[in-house]
A and B are shown apart, each in its own frame.
Chain A
Amino acid sequence: MNKESKNNMIEELAKAPNSKKLPAIWLRWAQWLIISCCLVMAGIAVLGMKHSFTSLLSMWDKVIEMLALTILTIVASFNAFILSIPGEETRFRRRTIKFLVAGIGSLLLLEYYFLQLSPIPVGIHFGCVMDILILGIPSALLLFFMLSKSANTFPKWSGYLACIASFSLAAMGSRYTCMDISSIHFLVWHFFPVVILGWIGFGLGQKVLKF
């Protein structure tokens, strides 16, 4: 690019100056969270609720699971929005995400080990994976759309966090659409798919979120 072509390019860009400003990170995050919760609740209504809202919350181990998943959803989605702003990458907590994902898996295993009185056959339940996809894809699409409007300097991690956040929320919702409430079933057929979908998010992020 010589000086003349550079000046021409600047003149063209100056004709349409980019004077917009993106809303604050917390505002965009809150918008996504509220809409996603509504989408997941609509999804539960479509798939059919197998347990009442309070029945699961009366079991303390299930409360801990839901709390852990809620924290994962909140932390992952907020970090995804942080990474969408150049210069804010220093606020990204990679270790926290890894700790949360590993922690929830360990929690479920420990729950099964200490609280299950007899071994329960896990079986094949691809229907649960389909439920998670049905509940999670709309919020994942929304999150990817919101992130693509900004400038992701770590597109792979942004994609991973977007998938983890959306499908964790879906996994929480799938608790209510699944008959089986055992922790080992939840670990194998609800939580592992979330982890795998998170890894798929790495590739998607690289393709979709690059600016």
Chain B
Amino acid sequence: MTIQIMVLAYIFMYIVDVDYQQTIKAFRQKPDPQLYETFLQNISTFIKNLLTPKISNHADREELAQEILLSIHKSLHTYDDSKAFHPWFYSVVRFKTIDHWRAAAKRKTQSLENMPDLPDHNTKSNELRLLAADVIGKMDQLSPIQYKIIYMAKVEGFSIAEIAAETGKKESAVKVTIHRVLKNIKESLT
């Protein structure tokens, strides 16, 4: 079954190859812009299908496809129409693809070199530590009931109803207490 598929693929490639060969022979004998345009359209689809498995980034793929199409147009005079089209075509595609990968690798190296220095991790964590100490200091100044309400709400994650049941206060009072305490802490830190 695999061999049959391969044979069919080779026959199909041969037919397509002969088709391109004859198209190029035809517009060399009589330059026809319409025929040339059709040829370029077919080739661009072919290029896109070739590049899809090789290059994942859509923008890069489109840019490379455009470059290859331009190279094919510029170097078409080097193709010998008495020979198969595909070796010539694949050679151009391979050359341009390798060139593209080399340029992409070079760009990546340069972009890493130009990257700004990362912020100092130690400075950041020291700032956070000081801030945490301030918050803890403010928490120590709260009354026992306020401390319990804030601790149950923000550290232990109890709901308003559960806190109200535990402390014996109304739910609205619990909400107001939480809001006032957080506002005071925030104002004292800024």
Contacts and interface: CB of A to CB of B under 8 A. Distances in A.
B41 A22 contact: no
A150 interface: yes
A85 B78 contact: yes
Interface stretch (B90-98, B113-121, B126-134, B162-170): B90-98
A18 B92 contact: no
A22 B44 contact: no
A153 interface: yes
B77 interface: yes
A211 B33 contact: no
Contact of B71 (A14, A85, A211): A211
Interface in A83-140: 84-87, 89
Interface string B134-175: 000000000000000000000000000000000000000000
Interface string B74-108: 11111111010001111110110000000000000
A86 B78 contact: yes
A34 interface: no
Nearest to A7: B41
Majority DSSP secondary structure for residues of A touching B = loop
Interface in A7-21: 9-11, 13-15, 17-21
Given A85-B78, A87-B90, A19 B63 contact: no
B43 to A, nearest CB: 9
A15 B34 CA distance: 9
Interface in B31-73: 31-34, 36-37, 40-41, 44, 62-63, 65-66, 69-71, 73
Contact of A18 (B41, B76, B89): B76
B28 interface: yes
Contacts of A13: 36, 40, 69-70, 73
B75 A86 contact: yes
Contacts of B12: none
Interface string A1-33: 110001001110111011111101000000000
Contact of A6 (B44, B79, B83, B87): B44
A24 B83 CA distance: 12
A9 B78 contact: no
Contacts of A153: 91-92, 94-95
B10 interface: no
B27 interface: yes
20 contacts: A1-B62, A1-B65, A2-B62, A9-B66, A10-B41, A13-B70, A13-B73, A14-B33, A14-B34, A17-B33, A18-B77, A19-B28, A21-B77, A22-B78, A85-B88, A86-B75, A86-B88, A86-B95, A87-B91, A150-B77
